[in-house]
Amino acid sequence: MLTATRRFEFSAAHRYWRDDWSQAENQRVFGKCISPYGHGHNYTLDVTITGTLDPRTGMVMNMTELKALVNEVLEEFDHKHLNEDTPYFKDQLPTTENLVRVLWQLIAAHLPTVARLAHLRIYEQPDLWADYDGAEETTFARAYSFAAAHRLHAPALSAEENRAVYGKCNNPNGHGHNYTLEVSVTGPHDPATGMVIDLEAMDRSVRAVLDQLDFCHLDHEVAAFADKPSTAENIVVYLWDELAPRFEGRLSHLKLWETRKNVFTYTGPHSV
Ligand SMILES: [Zn+2]
Ligand SMILES: [Zn+2]
């Protein structure tokens, strides 16, 4: 499949609140997002289209045309209050998951017949986004960070082999990283909250797991790495095993950035 992606940006305010819930219930589920005055974001939207390559132009679709039609759609959202100024969030909350589906409908309806929408990703913040490809389910993702020391050293290998395999990472006194973990959860969204997952609960679950690693030495303080090397591959599998039971089968993938240059993705033991 050949795809083309163009990035867009717009800024908007919104508020999460359900009139049929108590203040306490709204607060528990939506946290700070319940402020009556609203708050705002710089949204980033990645629009991916696919279609047949036109041999005359060498394009699926002219990106200038895509830019114009998506900007026309976004005019209704840019510098607006999503709850108050658009018609789309009278009966549903303007969550990232609902917003990506609304934008899908609007953009898909505007596309010329030569192209079709393949994927939308919308970032509400650099560390919070939703993915949608027109199916029943939506993916919600959030990035978290933790800092830890470690030493790459395999008990099964000799001292010399360890030095040869791991190089600088085998330094006996250890070294450390700022790790970033992207957690993606896929499922139907709850019509009451407009969310695939309760955001506050997701934060609590992920932090509970990451706090056991944060500001620690992985090999000395985390039992799972006492007898196996704390490679990013082993860490991402460990994190999957810790997180998956907390997400009731909805964890779809984990992406662990060890540095800005090394990234490891795991989609669980049952996927190919
Ligand atoms: Zn918000
Ligand atoms: Zn390292």
Kindly report the length of the chain: 272
H helix runs in 95-181, sequence order: 96-110, 159-166
Q: What CATH number matches the domain at 138-272, 3.40.720.10, 3.40.50.300, 3.30.479.10, 1.10.3720.10?
A: 3.30.479.10
C-alpha 212 to ligand 1 mean position (Å): 28
The whole-angstrom separation of Cα 120 and Cα 66 is 13
C-alpha 219 to ligand 2 mean position (Å): 11
H helix runs in 187-231, sequence order: 199-210, 218-221
Which residues crowd ion ligand 2, with CB under 5 Å? 169
The whole-angstrom separation of Cα 88 and Cα 101 is 10
- Give the bridge partners for 122, in sequence order: 45, 130
C-alpha 270 to ligand 1 mean position (Å): 34
Residue 62 — very low, low, confident or very high, per pLDDT cuts 50/70/90?
A: very high
Query: 190-225: per-residue pLDDT in tens?
Result: 999 999 998 889 999 999 999 999 999 999 999 999
CB atoms within 10 A of CB 214: 14
What does the mean pLDDT of the chain come to? 96
Same fold across 1-135 and 138-272 = yes
C-alpha 51 to ligand 1 mean position (Å): 34
Please say if the pLDDT value at position 272 is more than 80: no
Nearest bound ligand to the CA of residue 231: 2
Tokens for 222? Answer: 């985390």
Residue 89 — very low, low, confident or very high, per pLDDT cuts 50/70/90?
A: very high
Q: Which amino acid is at 41?
A: H
Calculate ∠ Cα 174-178-183, nearest 5°: 125
Domain boundary assignment for the chain: 1-135, 138-272
Tokens 């944060």, located at residue: 214
C-alpha 177 to ligand 2 mean position (Å): 6
Average pLDDT over residues 44-73: 96
The whole-angstrom separation of Cα 23 and Cα 16 is 12
Tokens for 24? Answer: 């306490």
Shortest CA distance to 123 belongs to which of 115, 131, 133?
Answer: 131
C-alpha 254 to ligand 1 mean position (Å): 23
Q: What CATH number matches the domain at 1-135, 3.40.630.10, 3.90.1150.10, 1.10.540.10, 3.30.479.10?
A: 3.30.479.10
C-alpha 21 to ligand 1 mean position (Å): 19
For CA atoms 70, 71, 76, 79, the dihedral sign is positive
C-alpha 160 to ligand 2 mean position (Å): 18
C-alpha 3 to ligand 1 mean position (Å): 30
pLDDT value at residue 271 = 63
The whole-angstrom separation of Cα 183 and Cα 129 is 10
Average pLDDT over residues 9-37: 95
